[in-house]
Amino acid sequence: MAIIERPTPAAPVVVTPTETYGLLKRPVSSTGWRSWVFTIDHKKLGIMYAVTAMFFFIVGGIEALLIRLQLAAPNGKVLNADLYNQMFTMHATTMVFLFIMPMAAGFANYFLPLQIGARDVAFPRLNAFGFWSLLFGGIFLNLAWFLGGAADGGWFMYAPNSGPVFSPSNGVNFWALGLQIAGIASLTSAINLIITVLNMRAPGMSLMKMPIFTWMITVVQFLLLFAVPVITVALFLLMFQRNFGARFFDVAAGADPLLWQHLFWIFGHPEVYILILPSFGIISEVLPVFSRKPLFGYPFVVFSGAAIGFVGWGVWAHHMFASGLGPVSVAVFSVATMAIAVPTGVKIINWTLTMWGGKLWFTTAMKFAIGLIVLFTVGGLSGVTHSIAPSDTQQTDTYYIVAHFHYVLFGGSVLGIFAGFYYWWPKVFGKMLSEKLGSWNFWLMIIGLNLTFGPMHILGLQGQPRRMYQWTEARAGEGFFNLAFWNSVASIGSFILAIGILIFLINVWVTSRNPQRAPLDPWDARSLEWMTSNPPKEHNFDVIPTVHHLDEFFHRKYEEDEATHTMKQITTAEDLIAEQERNADRHIHMPSPSYWPIVLAFGLPVIAFGLIYSYLIAVVGGVIVLFAAFGWALESSTAPESDFENPNSSAELVKHD
């Protein structure tokens, strides 16, 4: 990785690190694995986040298929009860914390700086540290599978079920510590991206000219900033209870089991918006582009997003209607929950009206976006049925809840993520994903999704409890609503869904082998990230753009025709970017790669391992962390001026090893 880059010609210039702080000189590799492992480039980190998330998506998906295999027929024998508990716990934990959140972080890292016309993020090394914490935390969490069994208390890990009496294996310890480490990634990314948005927008980009994806990501970062510490507290209490004999959830000592539930859901409800808002952001970019119209009611979409961010803090107890909160609390939280459906509905109306009267272009990205609108609405409606407390008392802990959250999470978050893949692939990799395979990908996913999760509404209302590891013929009932039929439909559906996702992976592979390059602006897009080369240069923009409009890129390509009041194209992306290249800034110093983020992050699982097995190991981890922290503090994020080769000299590249 080059530390200084001259925009033209493209050859990167290498630097010699002169200063040594701590023990190690700065890494300087610009190619090979080192350029990834020590990178602090937000685009590389974005890709690394996404690849990690995709890996965990596959892991979580396999776990899901095993669950559906077990339930496909009566008296399932695929998993025993204990393994089944581990499977659904780890499935949900993986999907929420190791797939959707990191995938959103990947999109955010890659595109947020590009969308605001910045060359990097506010804290590049912190960014790298966040990624490595996530990766190590995720691996640590899954190590439990091989060390005596994974966590088995459900993803919300209610107390006192999570205590050593009911969960004697180390699974819950791995779970609590692994999530703690992965949570660091969320906290650092929140601080990093919030400051990036506040401080590093291109000149002229006021908050209300910011692309909507960036807006939604910003709301999510604020949610993370305040929600992560709450689960951190809960996880600490759990860990202290399990490892150091604290009594927090010990009912015999007079503990209140609802403490955990409150802490978890004060985090947990904002969390569901953390999971959905990035996808709302993605499709709010995709829909206008493929409707050839600006987003309808941009300020409404922004403010309803922010409103969701605020109201989302006041509804957590709707997850606890059946826990005996008392009638007043239940009534208050019930009404608040109904209220939160309003800003959500506002968004759906905005998207629909964006398409209304537009020249619709049904690309795969667009199809996924429309899929989100439809299926998320289904999930939102079942959500409103849970908000009515008496009705929820019937539904809670049944498959009806499972249907709800899969419609909002799969039909919402995941479809949005896929819309993002197809929309931004040419930007990131310079190649177009195949639309033909994309169509298969989309339709198989939609069919599979509805076959899998649709029947769960019926199963739930018929009384099938969630987290039940077997069902029997005798209790399946008969007629149209018998459990046997709908369970097998759901299981068949899950395999169709899996094939749909497999086709996506095939599409990626096929595309990577296709030599054809994507055009610079394949979709005639609107926002600044498209005003860069494909893929963007390391410093993103040759010239930092000055922003005059929402949809700045569009307004540079199009002008209103005075006579007819229609927009007419005045220039192309190719010309705009060529012009930037001609006027490129010289002498751009990018922040420099560093060893410390990965070293520091590596210390964390070592400490966690030590807490479970031997304090001696924890001490070693502590030393690693301290050592890395000092190295980090003593190294400035951009290499000193004297390290850079003078871009005007004709000197040979400085050799280094």
Partner 1 sequence: MTDVAHGHVGGTGISNVKLGMWAFLGSECLLFGGLISTYMLYRGRVTGGPRPSQIFDIPFTSVSSFVLLMSSLTMVLAVSAAHKDDDRKTNLWLTVTALLGTTFVGGQVYEFTAFYKEGLGFSTSLFGSSFYTLTGFHGVHVTVGIIMLMSLVGILTRSSMPGKKAEVVEIVGLYWHFVDIVWIIIFTLVYLIPV
Q: Is 544 in the site for partner 1 (CB under 8 A)?
A: yes
Q: How many angstroms separate the CA atoms of 87 and 649, rounded?
A: 61
Choose the one of Cu ion, partner 1, ligand HEM, none that binds residue 269, judging by a C-beta under 5 to 8 angstroms depending on kind.
Answer: Cu ion
- At 161, give phi and psi (nearest 5°): -60, -25
Span near partner 1 by CB under 8 A; candidates 81-89, 136-144, 240-248, 483-491: 240-248
Are residues 39 and 591 in contact, defined by beta-carbon separation less than 8 angstroms?
no
DSSP-based three-state secondary structure for 398: strand
Q: Is 162 in the site for ligand HEM (CB under 6 A)?
A: no
Site for partner 1 in 120-139 (CB under 8 A): 120, 122-124
Other beta carbons within 10 Å of 245: 9
Q: Which CB sits closer to Cu ion, 294 or 314?
A: 314
Span near ligand HEM by CB under 6 A; candidates 192-200, 252-260, 381-389, 442-450: 381-389
Q: How many angstroms separate the CA atoms of 657 and 652, rounded?
A: 15
- At 121, give phi and psi (nearest 5°): -100, 175
Choose the one of ligand HEM, partner 1, Cu ion, none that binds residue 515, judging by a C-beta under 5 to 8 angstroms depending on kind.
Answer: none
Q: Supply 428's token pair.
A: 């990131």
Minimum CB–partner distance for residue 321 and partner 1 (Å):
21
Q: Supply 425's token pair.
A: 């692939």
Strand partners, 567: 560
Residue from the set 60, 149, 160, 380 that interacts with ligand HEM by CB under 6 A: 380
From the list 403, 404, 500, the residue with the least C-alpha distance to 455 is 403
Contacts made by residues 569-578, CB under 8 angstroms, sequence distance 24+: 572/521, 573/519, 573/520, 573/521, 573/530, 573/531, 574/520, 574/521, 576/531, 577/520, 577/531, 577/532, 577/533
Q: Which CB sits closer to partner 1, 185 or 415?
A: 185
Site for ligand HEM in 269-328 (CB under 6 A): 272, 275-276, 318-319
Q: Is 119 in the site for partner 1 (CB under 8 A)?
A: yes
Q: How many angstroms separate the CA atoms of 180 and 374, rounded?
A: 35
Q: Is the previous residue joined to 278 through a cis bond, with omega within 30 degrees of 0?
A: no
Are residues 581 and 8 in contact, defined by beta-carbon separation less than 8 angstroms?
yes
Residue from the set 200, 402, 483, 550 that interacts with partner 1 by CB under 8 A: 200
Q: Is 326 in the site for partner 1 (CB under 8 A)?
A: no
Other beta carbons within 10 Å of 361: 13
Q: Which CB sits closer to partner 1, 201 or 457?
A: 201
Minimum CB–partner distance for residue 132 and partner 1 (Å):
19
Minimum CB–partner distance for residue 107 and ligand HEM (Å):
16
Q: Which CB sits closer to Cu ion, 405 or 421?
A: 405
Sign of the torsion angle spanned by Cα atoms 524, 528, 531, 534: negative
Q: Which CB sits closer to ligand HEM, 368 or 523?
A: 368
**Cα–Cα distances in angstroms (integers) from residue 254 to residues 52, 251, 324, 552, in the given order:** 42, 5, 17, 60
Q: Is the previous residue joined to 160 through a cis bond, with omega within 30 degrees of 0?
A: yes
Q: Is 408 in the site for ligand HEM (CB under 6 A)?
A: yes
Q: Supply 550's token pair.
A: 């929402």
Choose the one of ligand HEM, Cu ion, partner 1, none that binds residue 637, judging by a C-beta under 5 to 8 angstroms depending on kind.
Answer: partner 1
Q: Is 236 in the site for partner 1 (CB under 8 A)?
A: yes
Q: How many angstroms separate the CA atoms of 295 and 285, rounded?
A: 8
Q: Supply 206's token pair.
A: 């006021």
Q: Is 242 in the site for partner 1 (CB under 8 A)?
A: no
Q: How many angstroms separate the CA atoms of 267 and 103, rounded?
A: 19
Choose the one of Cu ion, partner 1, ligand HEM, none that binds residue 576, judging by a C-beta under 5 to 8 angstroms depending on kind.
Answer: none
Residue from the set 36, 55, 156, 440 that interacts with ligand HEM by CB under 6 A: 156
Q: How many angstroms separate the CA atoms of 516 and 431, rounded?
A: 7
DSSP-based three-state secondary structure for 281: helix
Span near partner 1 by CB under 8 A; candidates 145-153, 233-241, 518-526, 549-557: 233-241
Q: Which CB sits closer to ligand HEM, 216 or 401?
A: 401
Q: Which CB sits closer to partner 1, 200 or 369?
A: 200
Q: Which CB sits closer to ligand HEM, 71 or 401?
A: 401
Are residues 568 and 561 in contact, defined by beta-carbon separation less than 8 angstroms?
yes
Q: How many angstroms separate the CA atoms of 46 and 109, rounded?
A: 5
Burial degree of 642 (CB within 10 A; 0-12, 13-18, 19+): exposed
Q: Which CB sits closer to ligand HEM, 311 or 608?
A: 311
Other beta carbons within 10 Å of 14: 20
Residue from the set 89, 395, 507, 580 that interacts with ligand HEM by CB under 6 A: 395
Span near partner 1 by CB under 8 A; candidates 127-135, 187-195, 304-312, 447-455: 187-195
Minimum CB–partner distance for residue 158 and ligand HEM (Å):
10
From the list 447, 422, 430, the residue with the least C-alpha distance to 507 is 422
DSSP class of 293: S
Site for ligand HEM in 553-582 (CB under 6 A): none
Q: How many angstroms separate the CA atoms of 102 and 133, rounded?
A: 11
Are residues 547 and 209 in contact, defined by beta-carbon separation less than 8 angstroms?
yes
Q: Which CB sits closer to Cu ion, 316 or 486?
A: 316
x/- mask, Cu ion, residues 246-285, rule CB under 5 A, reads -----------------------x----------------
Span near ligand HEM by CB under 6 A; candidates 401-409, 486-494, 497-505, 633-641: 401-409
Which positions touch ligand HEM (CB under 6 A)?
156, 272, 275-276, 318-319, 337, 340-341, 344, 380, 383-384, 386-387, 392, 395-396, 401, 404-405, 408-409, 412-413
Which positions touch Cu ion (CB under 5 A)?
269
Which positions touch partner 1 (CB under 8 A)?
21, 118-120, 122-124, 187, 190-192, 194-195, 198-201, 225-230, 232-234, 236-237, 240-241, 244-248, 250, 253-256, 259, 263, 539, 544, 585-591, 630, 633-638
